[in-house]
Amino acid sequence: MKKIAVTAATGNIGRRVAQQISLKGAETVLLGQNLERLNHLNVSNSTPTVADISSSEQMIAATKGVDALFLLVPPVLGTSSLEEWYQQVTNAGIAAVTENKIKRVVLISSLGASAAPNLGTVSYCGAMEIAFDHLNSNVLALRPGYFMENFVQQAQSIRENGKFSFPFDGNHDIPFISTDDIGDAAARYLLDETWAGHWKLNLMGPENITLKDVAKRLTALTNKPIEYVQQSFDKLKAQLKTLEITDKVLQELVDLHNALGDPDGAYATPRTPEVCTPTSLEKFAEQKLLPLL
């Protein structure tokens, strides 16, 4: 029986990965910061384990005896620098893989990773990929587009004001993807022992969609007028400052949104058949957004 460690197990992607590999009969080590939340996942044949994934010592201890590792760097805004946070998690993951001779690793990276510096966490994902490529283990870096689940955070505004906003041009076409599809892809490769080497796989959802088109589709689904309003970067910065983050993290998040909104940037990646995933915007909305409206 395979034994697979899943980091950030209580998040959208980690939870889905854990559920899917458990359904296939694998033993799962659920890694997270909160034991109560890990226990509430109710994943069969699993071992909830509290561990700091930025600590090499804790990661080595938590992953002893596992055959594969799923590694996702969760957002931690309380750090002094996201770059340092990504580096710490990367170092701890590499230490665990090396010490415990873990055969297979699936990373969650980002579309556009390694494309350019100064792209915020997109660039840090690229650095993580490069670091893991020095290992002898089999490593797959999944590079997803923009999460559909970001619309869930806009549910109150959509419900009360009929509006949603991001700091992107309304005509910027975006490869929206469901986190369920990302988790399903990760689980599939964690369980599959036929692939080898170091691989990168873009995941871009079924289609690119502009935010103006998203508004039209949500209007049709809800039978209520829904409008997209582009958020200015001044408003974005003011909103981020309320989170009491450092100036370094603020700039990193601004760099990230600039990168994702660049029409010639990360999301200009060409589509090929293997990048497509099944969940449409409409299916996502029916399952996760409309119940909140």
Backbone torsions φ then ψ of 204, nearest 5 degrees: -125, 20
Q: What is the pTM of this model?
A: 0.96
DSSP label of 278: S
Indicate if 183 and 106 belong to the same structural domain. Answer: yes
Indicate if 183 and 255 belong to the same structural domain. Answer: no
In-domain check, residue 152: no
In-domain check, residue 169: no
Burial 114-144 (b: 16+ CB within 10 A, else e): bbeeebbbbbbbbbbbebbeeeebbbbbbbb
Indicate if 71 and 127 belong to the same structural domain. Answer: yes
In-domain check, residue 54: yes
- The overall average pLDDT reported for the chain is 95
In-domain check, residue 66: yes
Indicate if 196 and 98 belong to the same structural domain. Answer: yes
In-domain check, residue 168: no
Indicate if 195 and 265 belong to the same structural domain. Answer: no
In-domain check, residue 162: no
Indicate if 140 and 272 belong to the same structural domain. Answer: no
pLDDT at residue 7, rounded to an integer: 98
Indicate if 188 and 248 belong to the same structural domain. Answer: no
How far apart (Å, rounded) are the C-alpha atoms in residues 104 and 2?
11
Indicate if 21 and 138 belong to the same structural domain. Answer: yes
Indicate if 111 and 234 belong to the same structural domain. Answer: no
Indicate if 69 and 18 belong to the same structural domain. Answer: yes
Count Cβ atoms below 10 Å from residue 157 Cβ, excluding itself. Answer: 14
- Average pLDDT of the residues in 263-286: 94
Model confidence over 98-133: pLDDT tens digits? 999 999 999 999 999 977 788 999 999 999 999 999
In-domain check, residue 260: yes
23-27's contacts with Cβ under 8 Å and 24+ in sequence apart are 24/187, 24/191, 25/1, 26/1, 26/2, 26/190, 26/191, 27/1, 27/2, 27/3
* Structural domain range at position 224: 208-292
Model confidence over 17-44: pLDDT tens digits? 999 999 999 999 999 999 999 999 989 9
Model confidence over 170-221: pLDDT tens digits? 999 999 999 999 999 999 999 999 999 999 999 999 999 999 999 999 999 9
Indicate if 62 and 199 belong to the same structural domain. Answer: yes
pLDDT at residue 23, rounded to an integer: 95
CATH number at residue 77: 3.40.50.720
In-domain check, residue 156: no
Domain count, the chain: 2
Element (H, E) at 90: helix 82-100
End-to-end CA distance of the chain: 43
Indicate if 36 and 107 belong to the same structural domain. Answer: yes
